[in-house]
Amino acid sequence: MTTTLLDETMLRDDTARLRAAAEFVREHDSASLLPLLLPGIDGPDLRALAGHCRFAHAGTLLFPPDEESLRAQLADCGLAVDTPPQPSVVVRERLARRHRREPAELDVRILRPQVSGAAGGERRAVEIFALTVPPHSDLERIAAHERTRGHEAHLAFEVDHPDPLVLRGLCAILARHGAHPDGGGYNPHEDGTVFYFTTPADEACGYRRLELYAHGDHRDALAAHLDDPGRYSRPSARPPAETLLHLLTGAWSTQALASFARLRLPEAMDTRTAHRAEDLARRTGTHPRGLATLLRCLAMLGAVSREEPPREGFRLTALGALLREDAPASMRPLALMYGGPFYRSFGALDHAVRTGRPAFDHLFGENHFDHFARDPELADLFDRSMAASSRMFEPLPAHPALTAAARASAPATVVDVAGGNGELLRQVLTAHPALRGVLLERPHAVATARRLLDAAGCGTRCDYRAGDFADVPSGGDVYVLARVLHDWDDDRCREILRHCARAMPDHADLLIVERLLPADGSPSLATAWDLHMLCNVGGRERRADHYARLLADAGLHLHGHTPLPLDAHVLHARKTPVPCPPRT
């Protein structure tokens, strides 16, 4: 076997690449770069990208033999030699996958020396991934391969004021103009999320990869980005048999996460300190070997991270921390529900598919709502599991219908129909102190909602009605149906919508929060939830045009819909105007 030796030519090549990247950053800006990367982009899409993103850096991967050599290269290119490095996570893992190495074997760091743009002196950077390659080490083969292929060379655009809606919209624009998802990740060391794409440009600017960088933890949006339907057809993807095995073991992942929550392991861990499995076993009353086996699986799922010596042990990740009971917007109730009653009913999914009737009813002898209503603990768990997805509501208070109601000269009222524990109404009333609220729910849920809204300081602006859909109160200004219609078949949905339409004044707005099935068959959480609704409640997810027909049958008109986090949408409807009779 021959070994590629590190020589002066290779060092000069690294320096030349670094110098070229620095010059590129100085000369370009967002407006000039985007058309080079995405040929044909113009109009609203170009303005949206350029308005939300700014050209931040050009990235390159270098292979210095030691820190002194890296400082010399920085100096040769006129870059600050004292730029502080950060550990890499995303690129280290990409290199490990490509070259079948353990990530811990690859000492990759990130440096971002600053560069001034030519126009106006705007501050940008060169992003340097530095993999230390000692002379004559087996890492020289990786360096030779990466220099030839340039996998990590990219241009990056930083997203100003990122939120889930903006990130999904920007990713959709890029995809529309030929950019393909190419990985990404969250780096906890710098609290930043990256979204990688390959671009369709034919070497128009010498870079074929694009990165969106968003400060903060945006792994919900990242999960949608990584769930690319074409990824298994690319050369680096898993073979079909391996892919199928990963899919078939999905139920094991559900139970691993549910057991993690049931055993209160997240409460026994934290995100800063690594704990040995033996110590955690003593703390949680579990078997050391059994717990170690579970923790290794959870590390593969990203709920914990496995720390190497000298800090050997397992550390809770931001994802795993969502399963702590005291976490903001805790998802522990979802884990207990999906790993409990709903897990059992999915075992009889073939009954639902064969008959069209819920497997839950077949298994438990009664429907989901009646079964939970007769068990206070289950009813409370269900209400808390619904509230655990409340992050989908976060952008809702900014909807034009609610902001217009909040600016009205007379106090306006928001009616939350089947509003659960009141979490959505809490967010709306907190955002708009001028609004009043009415919550319609079952008696036990009303009591829970009253406590939550009182604790949030909104209780004095809210009235409560215990009842059913036939009891929708009249005279409101904005009516809300959040995750209600998907529980029911079309006939029941029409009935619910007619109750709302009868209660609504002519000026009132109706906001419906649901997941929408994609019209083009693209991957969506709504598709999985459609199966969940069939199996457990006999309801269904629907396309936007399906909801438009149901609304029309109830005398309502769909004005449009906009996306929300967690693959949800808000549909905006109003009463269909009654045409004036022609003049005679």
Q: Which entry of 28, 52, 351, 486 is annotated as an active-site residue?
A: 486
Distance CA 341, CA 337 (A): 6
Angle subtended at Cα 393 by Cα 472 and Cα 500, rounded to the nearest 5 degrees: 15
User: Within 13 Å, how many C-alpha atoms sit on residue 298's CB side?
Assistant: 30
Q: Do residues 131 and 107 lie in contact, with contact meaning Cβ atoms separated by under 8 Å?
A: yes
DSSP string of 280-308, one letter each residue: HHHHHT--HHHHHHHHHHHHHHTSEEEEP
Q: Could you report how far apart the first and last alpha carbons of the chain are, in Å?
A: 97
User: Within 13 Å, how many C-alpha atoms sit on residue 190's CB side?
Assistant: 19
Distance CA 288, CA 510 (A): 54
Q: Do residues 463 and 435 lie in contact, with contact meaning Cβ atoms separated by under 8 Å?
A: no
200 CB burial (10 A radius; 0-12, 13-18, 19+): middle
Number of alpha helices (DSSP H) and beta strands (DSSP E) in the chain:
26, 18
DSSP helix/strand/coil, 45:
helix
Determine how β-strand 413-417 pairs with β-strand 478-482: parallel
Q: Examine the residue annotation and report whether 486 is marked as an active-site residue of this protein.
A: yes
Catalytic positions: 486
